[in-house]
A and B are shown apart, each in its own frame.
Chain A
Amino acid sequence: MSDPTRAEPRTAPRDSPRIEVDGLTMAFDDFVVQRDVSFQVPTGDIFVIMGASGCGKSTLLKHMIGLVEPAAGDILYDGKSFTAADAEGRAVMSRRFGVLFQSGALWSSMTLAENVSVPLSQYTRLTRDEIAELVSLKLALVGLAGFEDYYPSEISGGMRKRAGLARAIALDPDILFFDEPSAGLDPLSSRRLDDLILELRDSLGATVVIVSHELASIFAIADNSVFLDAESRTAIDGGDPKSLRDHSAHPAVREFLTRGEPRT
């Protein structure tokens, strides 16, 4: 009774990379966004994709979750190629993903509870009451207990984002993807979302990939990172953002991580 969606126990050895991006080239027709990007994300890490606006951060995320096809290179999850997998194999792999889109991407014709219940009713055989219980649990985890019957248009942007997170963790994913989680949030809400991401990583044991250019958030939560350079169109550096800020060999990376202000 092997289930490919849940083959690994949560206590997978930390040293095996959960995600490998190998020589990835992203391009739209003739326009190359980024060339030859390679990095690894260890299991349980919070990994940040950094870079200036327009350098292809979100595009990289879209490649990783299979929304866009790579021009060259490969993406591997637990050593299995995602790029080479057929539609069936990809569906099985992406069931382990939870994705939070930039503005939440909640389905506007459904209540919050219905939004969160869609993946559950699609991929589990739970009864309606059981789904309702799990939905309430997920909404409670993101601090939205009691908002089950609200429509996305009736709540604030920060709440929409948290509701999107509740939907992303509906199936207890192994890998969470966040596209600009703090965009459009006030500093306190952004900080609370960071805490929530940390808490979910620690308790669920999930691997987290975040696209971000919010320095405060990057330094607060990232274990590891990759820096995409808009000039040279490739990943020029990677590692712990705090040490990159102080010791990166590339001036562009140091400048980005210090907002171009001279360090005192």
Chain B
Amino acid sequence: MTAAIRRNGTPGDDPGKGPGDGAAHALETRVGADGRLTLALSGDWRVRHGLATTSAVDAVLDRDGSIRLVVCEDGGLRSWDSALVGYLLRVKDLCADRGIAFDTGNLPAGVARLMALARAVPVKEDAARGDTARSLPERLGQAVLDGWRELDQAVSFLGEIVLGLGRMMVGRARFRRVDFLMAVEDAGARGLPIITIVSLLVGLTVAFVGAIQLKQFGADIYVANLVGLAMTREMASLMTAIVLAGRTGAAYAAQLGTMQGNEEIDALSTIGISPIDFLVLPRVLALALMMPLLFVYSCFLGLLGGYIVGTSMLGLSGPAYVLQTQYALTMNDFWVGFVKSIVFGMLVAYAGAYRGMRAGRSAQAVGVAATSAVVTSIVLIIVVDALFAVMTNLLGI
């Protein structure tokens, strides 16, 4: 009956080892005279011992074309898990390709049941998706279209906010006062410590850099002009805006993004409350209100930084420094920075809210939204700052 006997172990299986030393799985193939191949399985067919290859069975089937039936046999199977099920499924496929019948024989009933379960639902063919390589023009075109759609959405969102502001003016926008006050507190009072540090240090730095140059031709006192102009026109509004973009804008994006993921925003829409009015307006208003106040605070600290350098390092007298600052600055310089800070505040809130409301519904999407909120804010701030520089120059302010 037994025409050929062949032993096959795993690659790491040392033949010298007895069956009890954790030598993994073993397979014996017997070809019967009636075209029947018996696979006697023994040992531990466990995932932790690695998966078996079907090459031995494949070789036997290749050699002997008369085999019509493959039957498994429990030849001392100690334990098994998915490794055995996976192996037998591959053998079964091998047999199916050659039109050979397959039977699990006297293996534990669970093996056959799991094999049946794995094949109970056919593979969803159209579900698999490959990476289709796309040509450069196609990718470029797609990028342009995506960019256009992005711009379209961003402008629509801006329009929605403006409409919301309009509704608020006529008293029809609905949001909770407490939300607004919390946004004010978070953006304003809680932002003071970091604004203090950043502004004071910027004032100090500008004064230091200026002092080194101005000292060379004895114009030390003009440090006051430099610090005063730099802080009021540019640095104070720019630095507060960038700090708030990282601090508050990112937080807005993360909050709204998480709400989006929890379907909280859908819930608002279904009960007829505009998410723009309810969630975005209080935040935009809070930042538009707090940013100018922070700007004034930042200006003061920047000037203080300059004063410290001027009086301690350059030996200027305190009253002379203050007088020189008064002489150098006009109210126009202050208003330029003040107006800019209102605009920057709205930009930061807009970018944060936009990225948050457009966030995907996963944990990763919230992170992406927060990051892109900061990037978008800073880019917008720099661009708008440049526009202001050109306009004030043209208008001679």
Contacts from A to B (Cβ < 8 Å)? 1, 3, 6, 9-10, 107-109, 120, 124-126, 130, 133-134, 137-138, 140-141, 143-153, 171-172, 196, 199, 202-205
Contact = CB atoms under 8 A, between A and B. Distances in A.
Given A153-B361, A199-B113, A137 B78 contact: no
A204 B110 contact: yes
Nearest to A172: B81
Contacts of A3: 48
Interface stretch (B119-127, B221-229, B280-288, B375-383): B119-127
B129 interface: yes
B360 interface: yes
Interface string B18-59: 000110000000000000000000000011101100000000
27 contacts: A6-B46, A9-B78, A10-B79, A10-B80, A108-B361, A108-B365, A109-B362, A109-B363, A126-B47, A130-B51, A133-B51, A133-B86, A134-B47, A134-B51, A137-B89, A137-B118, A140-B118, A140-B121, A140-B123, A143-B120, A145-B124, A146-B125, A153-B360, A153-B362, A172-B82, A202-B113, A203-B113
Given A151-B362, A199-B117, 10 more contacts: A1-B22, A10-B80, A109-B364, A134-B82, A134-B86, A140-B118, A140-B123, A153-B361, A172-B81, A204-B114
Contacts of A148: 128
Contacts, number: 93
Contacts of B365: 108
A176 B362 CA distance: 27
B79 to A, nearest CB: 5
Select the residue from B48, B80, B364 with max chain A CB neighbours within 10 A: B48
B111 interface: yes
A126 B364 contact: no
Which of B50, B89, B109, B114 counts the most chain A CB atoms within 10 A?
B114
A141 B118 contact: yes
A41 to B, nearest CB: 20
Interface residues of B, number: 40
B23 to A, nearest CB: 9
8 shortest interchain CB distances as A-B pairs: A203-B110, A108-B362, A146-B124, A1-B22, A109-B364, A172-B81, A143-B121, A146-B127
A137 B90 CA distance: 11
B118 A202 contact: no
A149 B128 contact: yes
Contact of B110 (A126, A137, A196, A202): A202
Contacts of B89: 137
Given A137-B86, A137-B89, A152 B114 contact: no
Nearest to B125: A146
B187 interface: no
Contact of B119 (A120, A140, A172): A140
B50 A147 contact: no
A84 to B, nearest CB: 27
A185 to B, nearest CB: 17
Given A137-B82, A146-B123, A203-B113, A124 B362 contact: no
Contacts of A108: 361-365
Contacts of A134: 47, 51, 82-83, 86
A133 B117 CA distance: 16
B381 to A, nearest CB: 30
B85 interface: yes
Nearest to B131: A149
